[in-house]
Amino acid sequence: MRLKDYIYVLIIAMAISGCSSKKYKNISYLQPTTATTDEPSLNIFSPRKTALKTPVLIFVHGGNWNSGDKKMYGFVGRNFAKKGITTVIVGYTLSPKTDFDGMAKQVAKAVEWTKENISKYNGNPEKIYLTGHSAGGHLIALVGTNTKYLKDKSIIKGIILNDAAGLDMKHYLQEIPPTEKDSYLKTWSNSPEIWKNASPIYFLDKNAPPFMIYTGGTKTYRSIQIANERFLKELHQYQPNVKLNVLNKNHVSMITQYFFPWSNRYDEIINFINSPKL
């Protein structure tokens, strides 16, 4: 297929996808609202043609904890909504304006807001799932395992990690201590105890939500490979059947693949959402 033909097909696919969903944008999920332009908010993509309450997928973007914007990920919301999933795209405050703890608290608030309000947007509050790429994967894993952020973990029915970073920040930062580069000192501090508190691997237990894990294999960052392998080994104490879904894609491609509505990831994740959980 020639490049211009490929682009044409892609534009048509996006247009069809957009017509199949309704977007609600820039909804504040923090209470009380500060009513400032810097306040984080979320976007919701709801399927247009359904009379039933649909499962809900909350997506948290990556960006090394210091970059990224929810508005860049409308394609995730549109494509899942087209396939019958009400999708929430969460924005959150980035470093150096806050640290990982502030980000996790905001993501937890977004989950709680979704639980209380998503039925207004045709979502089922009893079927809430989380997914995130890179730093977003870290944040959803931390919120989904550490009761400091979400006291009732049963709100979350499953977690899909997409080349998640930061699953064992203590291990990583002990080998490569944080510096001012990428605002890491602000994000993580220089305290090993805080690094441990930042690491989802230390909060896994029998009550953790079911996990589905994707990695880019040898094509992604070595630190992500190592952390996911360590995380999976610990997770196997409680969820022995979880496997790494290795896709052999680089870190960026692990999220850009969702640009295409025909990506196999959509059906795989929807099957995970619809499957019985142990």
pLDDT tens column, 224-236: 999 999 999 999 9
d(CA 188, CA 183): 9
> Which of 151, 147, 197 has its CA nearest to residue 170?
197
The amino acid at 109:
K
Contact call for residues 248 and 216 (beta carbons, < 8 A): yes
pLDDT of residue 19: 59
Extended beta strands in 69-223, E state:
86-90, 123-133, 156-162, 211-215
Task: Fill in the DSSP letter of residue 210.
Answer: P
pLDDT category of residue 249 using cuts at 50, 70 and 90: very high
* Whole-number CA gyration radius for the chain: 18
d(CA 19, CA 136): 27
Domain that holds residue 91: 3-274
Block residue for tokens 């080349």: 163
Contact call for residues 173 and 198 (beta carbons, < 8 A): no
Q: Which residues contact 134 (CB under 8 A, 6 or more apart)?
A: 62, 63, 64, 162, 163, 164, 165, 224, 251, 255
pLDDT of residue 1: 39
State mean pLDDT over 15-31.
80
CATH at 7: 3.40.50.1820
Number of domains in the chain: 1
State mean pLDDT over 112-137.
97
